[in-house]
Chain A
Amino acid sequence: MGSLLKAENISKEYVSGTFIKKRNLALKSVSFSIDDKTPSITAIAGESGSGKTTFARVLAGILDKSSGVLRYQDKDINHMTKDEELNFKKEVQTIFQDPFEVYNPFYKVDHVLTTPLKKFGMTSSKSESDKMIISALEEVGLRPDETLGRYPHQLSGGQRQRIMVARAFLLRPKIIIADEPVSMVDASLRATILEELKNLRKNHNISIIYITHDLTTAYQVADNIMILYKGQVVEAGSVENVINKPAHPYTKLLTDCIPRPDPDQKWSKTSGDISVKSRVIKGCNCAFCNLNEEKESFTEIYEFKKNQIVSCKLKKKMKLCPDNEISKYFVKPKK
Chain B
Amino acid sequence: MPNILEVNNLKVYYHTSKGPVKAVEDVSFSLAPGERMGLVGESGSGKSTIALALMKAHKYPASIENGKIMVGKTNLIDLDEEEMRKTRLKEIAMIPQGAMNSLNPVKRIKPQIMDALIDHDLKLSKTEKENFLTKLMESVGLDYSVVNLFPHELSGGMKQRVCIAISISMQPKVIIADEPTSALDVIVQRQVMETLYEVQENLGAACILIGHDMGLMAQFADKIGIMYAGKMVEMGTVLDIFKKPKHPYTRLLIDSLPDTNSKRDLIGIPGIPPSLLNIKEGCSFCLRIGQRTTSKIPWVKVSKNHYYQKCSKCSNYGKSKKRVKG
Contacts and interface: CB of A to CB of B under 8 A. Distances in A.
Interface in A252-311: 253-263, 265-267, 274
Contacts of A159: 272
B315 interface: no
B124 to A, nearest CB: 32
Contacts of A219: 258-260, 263
Contact of A257 (B42, B190, B259, B266): B190
Nearest to A274: B190
A216 B264 CA distance: 12
Contacts of B84: none
Closest 5 CB pairs of A and B: A192-B268, A259-B215, A191-B268, A191-B266, A186-B42
Nearest to B238: A263
Nearest to B40: A187
Given A143-B326, A189-B268, A217-B258, A257 B213 contact: no
A188 B268 CA distance: 6
Contacts of B300: none
Interface residues of B toward A: which range?
35 or more
B257 interface: yes
Contacts of A189: 42, 268-269
Contacts of B252: 188
Contacts of B217: 261
A220 interface: yes
B267 A260 contact: no
A188 B253 contact: yes
A215 B268 contact: no
Interface string B183-221: 001111111011000000000000000001111111100
Given A188-B256, A214-B186, A260-B259, 15 more contacts: A47-B187, A141-B326, A186-B43, A187-B253, A189-B269, A191-B269, A194-B266, A216-B260, A219-B263, A257-B190, A258-B260, A259-B213, A259-B219, A262-B218, A262-B259
Contacts of A221: 266
A198 B270 CA distance: 17
Interface string B293-326: 0000000000000000000000000000000011
A243 interface: yes
15 contacts: A47-B188, A156-B272, A187-B214, A187-B256, A188-B256, A188-B269, A189-B42, A191-B268, A194-B258, A213-B185, A254-B186, A258-B186, A259-B189, A259-B219, A267-B190
B191 to A, nearest CB: 7
A221 B256 CA distance: 13
Q: Of B190, B212, B219, B263, which is in contact with the most chain A CB atoms at under 10 Å from its CB?
A: B219
A187 B212 contact: yes
A98 to B, nearest CB: 13
B154 interface: no
A129 B264 CA distance: 35
A244 interface: yes
Report which residue of B212, B260, B325 has the largest number of chain A beta carbons within 10 angstroms of its beta carbon: B260
Nearest to B257: A261
Contacts of B79: none
Q: Give the contact-size bracket for chain A.
A: 35 or more
B216 A259 contact: yes
Contacts of A216: 215, 257-260
Nearest to A46: B185
Interface string B203-246: 00000000011111111000000000000000000110011000
Interface string A134-170: 0000000101000000000000111100000000000
Interface string A9-53: 000000000000000000000000000000000000001100000
Residue in A194, A214, A260, A265 with the greatest tally of chain B CB atoms within 10 Å: A260
Contacts of B267: 191-192, 195
A215 B270 CA distance: 24
A262 B213 contact: no
B256 A190 contact: yes
A193 interface: yes
Contacts of B326: 141, 143
A190 B253 CA distance: 10
A187 B214 CA distance: 8
B159 to A, nearest CB: 14
Contacts of B218: 259-263, 265-266
Contacts of B242: 261-263
B119 interface: no
A258 B215 contact: yes
A257 B42 CA distance: 23
B26 to A, nearest CB: 22
